[in-house]
Amino acid sequence: MYELFEHTADLGLRVIAADLDTLFAEAALAMFSMIVEDVSTIEPKLEVAVEIAGDDREYLLFDWLRELLRRHDQDRVLFGKFAVRFTAAGLSGRAWGEPIDPARHVLTHEVKAITYHELKIVPHDDGLMAEVIVDI
């Protein structure tokens, strides 16, 4: 489950999930729901792998989202499906998507950057909650 919230000139993501793997996958989906009006229009035509070393959950979340945003910007692709698995070395993630098709993808916000501002992952009644502020 995720929701967006207003934050001055930025936009925030609040994600709640039962476990860390799902939390990171939902955070990526939430970020792309800011970028495209309807993430269900994104077809899983290509797959990218993302490997990130580290053990700090907040920094891993920042790096995961930043890498997906970099690939979106660099390759002009949208992602709509994600899988994340934590390992002793960090995280191993996959994202599925396709090149932006203006005929099918209505872009809503340009996410410029992920920020460290108020970045957190905390316990929640339903498992874990993450909050991330993005620069739009």
Gyration radius of the chain over CA positions: 14
Tens digit of pLDDT for each residue in 18-52?
999 999 999 999 999 999 999 999 999 999 999 99
Checking phi first, is residue 110 left (phi over 0); if not, alpha (psi -120 to 50) or beta?
beta
Residue 11 is predicted with a pLDDT of 86
Q: Is the pLDDT of residue 5 over 80?
A: no
User: What contacts 117, CB < 8 A, 6 or more positions away?
Assistant: 10, 133
| 90-126 core/surface letters (b: 16 or more CB in 10 A; e: else) | bbebebbbbebeeeebeeeeebeebbeeebebeeeee
The answer to whether 15 and 1 have CB atoms below 8 angstroms apart is yes
Residue 117 is predicted with a pLDDT of 87
Which domains does the chain possess? 2-135 (3.55.10.10)
The answer to whether 62 and 85 have CB atoms below 8 angstroms apart is no
Cα–Cα distance measured from residue 93 to residue 109, given in angstroms and rounded to the nearest whole number: 24
Q: What pTM was estimated for this model as a whole?
A: 0.92
**Enclosing H/E stretch for 132:** strand 127-135
Tens digit of pLDDT for each residue in 71-126?
999 999 999 999 999 999 999 999 999 999 999 999 998 999 999 988 999 999 99
